[in-house]
């Protein structure tokens, strides 16, 4: 996850609730959010041979942001999958601040989902963190099942 601006993404997707959270809650949330990101993509991973990522263009948005347009080329699929990477040049080097898969933004999707969870909990950040932990455990179980039964995961 070193390639992602995890803290910036985590702050953005919790909106005004981030400012209301204590430093301890923020610390716990950042750790759980990173676990959630890893589990989220591990659960969706499938084994595909000969996949290629072709860079189409790079556009500079401002002094620090770039949009890298790519296509994921999967031999057995009838079409390529467009993937955009929003990258910010930070003091720690370039970091991915958003992924757009088939024009759906990762951070906008997460923000909608997480803001809904926070509203549902009445803004209780501790309860919200517990929901993230529960979802992470479910995703990890899904990923584990996919590894044990790769044919079912590929479907």
Residues recorded for the chain: 155
* pLDDT over 50 at 11, yes or no: yes
Where does residue 57 rank: exposed (0-12), middle (13-18), buried (19+ CB within 10 A)?
A: exposed
Where does residue 63 rank: exposed (0-12), middle (13-18), buried (19+ CB within 10 A)?
A: exposed
Kindly report the CA angle at 108 between 14 and 44, in degrees rounded to 5? 100
Report pLDDT digits (tens) over 50-105: 788 899 999 999 999 999 999 988 887 888 889 999 999 999 999 999 999 888 99
Could you state, in order of their start, the residue ranges of all structural domains in the chain? 6-43+51-137
Task: For 66, list phi and psi in degrees, rounded to 5.
Answer: -135, 150
Residue 140: the pLDDT is 87
CATH architecture of 6-43+51-137: Roll (3.10)
- Residues near 54 by Cβ (< 8 Å), separated by ≥ 6? 70, 71, 73, 80
Task: For 58, list phi and psi in degrees, rounded to 5.
Answer: -125, 125
Percentage of the chain surpassing pLDDT 90? 67
pTM score: 0.81
Query: What is the distance between the alpha carbons of residues 129 and 124, in angstroms, rounded to a whole number?
Result: 9
């Amino acid at each position: 996850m070193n390639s992602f601006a995890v803290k910036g993404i985590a702050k953005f997707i919790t909106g005004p609730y981030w400012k209301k959270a204590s430093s301890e809650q923020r610390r716990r949330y950042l750790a759980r959010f990173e676990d959630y990101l890893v589990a989220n993509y591990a659960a969706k991973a499938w084994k595909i041979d000969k996949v290629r990522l072709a860079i189409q263009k790079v556009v500079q948005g401002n002094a620090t942001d770039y949009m890298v347009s790519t296509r994921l080329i999967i031999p057995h699929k009838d079409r390529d999958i467009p993937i955009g990477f929003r990258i910010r040049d930070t003091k720690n080097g370039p970091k991915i601040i958003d992924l757009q898969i088939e024009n759906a933004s990762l951070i906008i999707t997460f923000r909608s989902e997480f803001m809904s969870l926070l509203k549902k909990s009445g803004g209780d950040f501790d309860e919200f963190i517990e929901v993230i932990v529960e979802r992470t455990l479910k995703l990890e179980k899904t990923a584990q099942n996919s590894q044990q039964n790769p044919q079912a995961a590929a479907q």
